[in-house]
A and B are shown apart, each in its own frame.
Chain A
Amino acid sequence: EPEVTQTPSHQVTQMGQEVILRCVPISNHLYFYWYRQILGQKVEFLVSFYNNEISEKSEIFDDQFSVERPDGSNFTLKIRSTKLEDSAMYFCASRPVQTDEKLFFGSGTQLSVL
């Protein structure tokens, strides 16, 4: 069964460092998302991406965040200068077409900022 893959599974970084979280969505999917979940809290929307551009972003997704689809398969989330409060599980998700609203998640990257 096709799945969304994310790397790395764990990332430890120092405050102020840049991190790039990587995702490979399911191959025929067209809509891509990043979510985060702080331990013990709800899943929070960060950004959605379609047709090589951001379609929507939340208040959390400030200038420190950016997304890219550098080739036909990868979808990355970059945090330029990490803060302690960026520590969370980051989930990538994808879905196939506009009329199919089923969202498929990757297994997540646990980011720890020290």
Chain B
Amino acid sequence: RKEVEQDPGPFNVPEGATVAFNCTYSNSASQSFFWYRQDCRKEPKLLMSVYSSGNEDGRFTAQLNRASQYISLLIRDSKLSDSATYLCVAYNFNKFYFGSGTKLNVKP
């Protein structure tokens, strides 16, 4: 079973739309969670950490549900520049487990 699973997409949305991604993790002992953004052939870049209480950074909101072992990312008012692959990451004892990523295409 994969440590972290994501819907690969692609999610094709118009500019201004709200889009949500979910991710599930298998290890209930995972300590921390993150969303990274990866542009084509570039390195992953940290977008935000994910907390049980939920956290918001501008147009981005992340949420963790430990009981159901899933993490979500909500993007409001999508911009063309949001087009990328979004990686869900679980951290457990010095190891980071990456999902395969969800591809987002924001269209004009």
Contact = CB atoms under 8 A, between A and B. Distances in A.
A61 interface: no
A103 B94 contact: no
Given A102-B46, A103-B46, A106-B43, A56 B94 contact: yes
Given A42-B98, A42-B100, A101 B42 contact: no
A104 B46 contact: yes
Contacts of B101: 42
Contacts of B44: 43, 91, 105
A55 interface: yes
A89 B41 contact: yes
Contact of A107 (B43, B95, B96): B43
B61 interface: no
Contact of A105 (B41, B45, B99): B45
Given A91-B43, A106-B43, A107-B42, A48 B94 contact: yes
A34 to B, nearest CB: 12
A43 B87 contact: yes
B32 interface: yes
Contact of A55 (B31, B43, B45, B94): B94
B96 A105 contact: no
Interface of A: 31, 33, 35, 41-45, 48, 50, 55-56, 89, 91, 98, 101-108, 110
Closest 6 CB pairs of A and B: A105-B43, A43-B98, A42-B100, A101-B32, A101-B91, A107-B43
Given A91-B44, A102-B34, 17 more contacts: A33-B96, A35-B98, A43-B44, A45-B95, A45-B98, A55-B94, A56-B95, A89-B41, A91-B43, A101-B91, A101-B96, A102-B46, A102-B49, A103-B34, A103-B46, A105-B43, A108-B43
10 contacts: A41-B100, A43-B44, A44-B98, A45-B96, A48-B94, A48-B95, A50-B94, A102-B34, A103-B46, A103-B89
